[in-house]
Amino acid sequence: MYKRNLAIAVLMLAVVVGLTLLVACSSNKPLIAEKSGAQLWGENCVRCHNAPSPPAFNDYQWETIAIHMRVRASLTDEEVQKIVEFLKMAN
């Protein structure tokens, strides 16, 4: 059993290393800091659940939800600020 676990762990590590190398080779990607709120919303808010659309909540609710998601999803301060701005503008 131990061997099997080790095999699975090694396999997952291999996937990790492989994917990291893949990224290292794919250069000239845009910096996250240069992305718009709309794009960051589209890329980040679907990662765990379906992305809520801007009209789902009002401005004040979005602000509280943003803090909740910033904590829960460990999103960066910069992206959360931009996403909230976009959600408040587009709702």
Partner 1 sequence: MKRWGSTIVLVVLMGVLVGFPVYAQTGSTVEQEVKALKPGLSRFLLRGYAHSGFESYEKENSFVGGSFNPIFLWQQSDRLLFEGELEVALEDGTTTLGLEYANMSYIINKRMIVRVGKFLIPFGIFAERLHPRWINRLPSNPLGFNHGEQVGPAAALGAEIRGGAPLGTAKINYSVYIINGPSLNDGSETPEAAGMLHFDNYEDNNTNKAVGGRFGFLPFSSSALELGVSAQYAKVGNENSRYRDVAARLFALDLSLVKTVPAVRGIVDVKAQYSLTQVDDASYINPDKPETMYTFKNENAAYFIQGTFKPAFVANTFFQKLEFAGRYSAMTLAEGAAWGGQKNQWAVSLNYWLDWRTVVKFSYQYTDAPGAEAEAVEHEEEGTPLGGAFLIHWSFGF
In the complex, the smallest distance separating the C-beta of residue 41 from ligand HEC, rounded to whole angstroms, is 6
Q: What residues contact 39, with CB distance under 8 A and at least 6 apart?
A: none
- Does 55 engage in binding with partner 1 (CB under 8 A)? no
- Measured from the CB atom, the residue of 4 and 49 that comes closer to ligand HEC is 49
Taking the CB of residue 1, how many other CB atoms lie within 10 A of it? Answer: 5
Cβ atoms 62, 87 nearer than 8 A: yes
Among ligand HEC, partner 1, none, partner that 86 touches (CB below 5 to 8 angstroms by kind): none
Distant-in-sequence, close-in-space partners of 59: CB < 8 Å, separation ≥ 6: 88, 91
Write the interaction track for ligand HEC spanning residues 64-83; mark x where CB under 6 A is met and - where it is not. -x--xx--xx-x-------x
Window 35-54: contact mask with partner 1 (x via CB under 8 A):
x-------xx-xxxxxxxx-
Q: Residues for the chain: how many in total?
A: 91
